[in-house]
Amino acid sequence: MPPVSLFTLQFPWAAAPAMLHAWQEWMANAPDELWSNCHLFSEGTAGYLAQVAGVWCGEQGALSPLLALLIRSIGTSPTSHFEGGEDYLRAMKVEAGCEYLTIAACHLTSSSSAGQLSRSAYATKSSYVNAPMSESTVQSYVDAVVRMQQSAPYLGGAVSFDACGGALNAVVSDASAFVHRDKLACIQATSSWSSYSSSQEIAAGTEWPTWLGAEVFDQNSGAYQNYIDPTLPEWAEAYYGANLPRLRAIKKSLDPDNVFHFAQSIS
């Protein structure tokens, strides 16, 4: 595996619209060696956080000019700026939240006697960005995170944009079950809570991504099938798009008795 460089840039919340707008243009023209995501966080009583983070497949020296370009486009200096080279395994441990754990410890306590990781409770909903968003659409996502903070001030929440492109989009859409090969980014909206959260807080946290999906997301952009969403109408079309008829034909041929099934499996 090649050497990699990790980076995290954090910006004042007032710069969140400019950050998201600049990030999507930056990623649309980025080299394939660069991957990143853009986060709009509601951190409960800690307030808000605007952040871009990611991985560069290569030496750190080649990453710095790319980050400088993004910062210039945003027009605001980051409040926190980290970039550093790592060997591949350590970089993946950092991305998985296991930076200071052994490989044996980097498992759930329920799946391994040596595991030290615990599960978390959250509600989530996904969508896609087909092309760079307008300033008004960008602002609607920033406003949505503010709504999350106002409706559930003691919970954590976020709208996260994961860059597509590169090798992901180099595959044609009908070559596999995964149809979303022409997207700029995948969106995941999440609200999370703990065992100490009240039922009212959990209800508010659950309602927020449902509201977001109905009022802010582009209903025609599809959804990511690995973020199974029980509230999603027309989920099969959203997950599989134009590949759905072919997948149904395969299902009928190979599993006519529906042995392999779950709540949102192809019928």
Condensed to tens digits (0 to 9), the pLDDT of residues 14-33 reads 999 999 999 999 999 999 99
**pLDDT of amino acid 20:** 98
Sequence-distant (6+) residues with CB within 8 A of 194 are 121
Whether residue 38 has pLDDT greater than 90: yes
In angstroms, rounded to a whole number, what is the distance separating the alpha carbons of residues 19 and 25?
10
Tell me the torsion sign for CA atoms 68, 50, 27, 22.
Answer: negative
3-state secondary structure of 127: strand
Q: Tokens 């980076």 map to which residue?
A: 7
Query: Is the pLDDT confidence value at 159 over 90?
Result: yes
- pLDDT tens track for 102-148: 999 999 999 999 999 988 899 999 999 999 999 999 999 999 999 99
Gap between the Cα atoms of 51 and 20, Å rounded: 9
- Return the SS3 of 104: coil
Range 4-86+120-215 has CATH code 3.40.50.740: no
Percentage with pLDDT > 90 across the chain: 82
pLDDT digits (tens, 9 = 90+) for 55-93: 999 888 999 999 999 999 999 999 999 999 888 898 889
Q: Quick one: pLDDT band at residue 45, thresholds 50, 70, 90?
A: confident
7 neighbors 56 (Cβ within 8 angstroms): yes
Tell me the residue type at 188.
Q
Across all residues in the chain, what is the average pLDDT?
94
Helices (H), the chain: 16-28, 60-74, 88-95, 135-151, 166-170, 199-215, 235-240, 244-254
**Most confidently modeled of 149-153, 230-234, 249-253?**
249-253
Cα torsion at 78, 84, 89, 94 (round to 10°)?
Answer: -30
What pLDDT was estimated at residue 164?
A: 96
pLDDT at 2: 78
- Look up residue 183 and give its amino acid: K
Per-residue confidence (pLDDT) for residue 3, from 0 to 100: 83
Task: Give CA separation, 38 vs 4, 35, 52, 166, 267, in Å.
Answer: 19, 11, 5, 17, 35
Q: What percent of the chain has pLDDT over 70?
A: 100
pLDDT at 97 > cutoff 90: no
**In 29-134, which residue ranges form alpha helices assigned H by DSSP?**
60-74, 88-95
* HSE-CB of 260 using CA atoms within 13 angstroms: 7
pLDDT value, residue 195: 84
According to DSSP, residue 225 is labeled: T
The reported pLDDT for the residue numbered 64 is: 95
Rounded distance between C-alpha atoms, residue 184 and residue 72, angstroms? 21
Looking at this protein, which amino acid is placed at residue 126?
A: S
Identity of the residue numbered 122: Y
How many Cβ atoms from other residues are within 10 Å of residue 118's Cβ? 8
pLDDT number for residue 131? 93
pLDDT surpasses 90 at 44: no
Please say whether the dihedral angle defined by the alpha carbons of residues 117, 119, 87 and 72, taken in this order, is positive or negative: negative
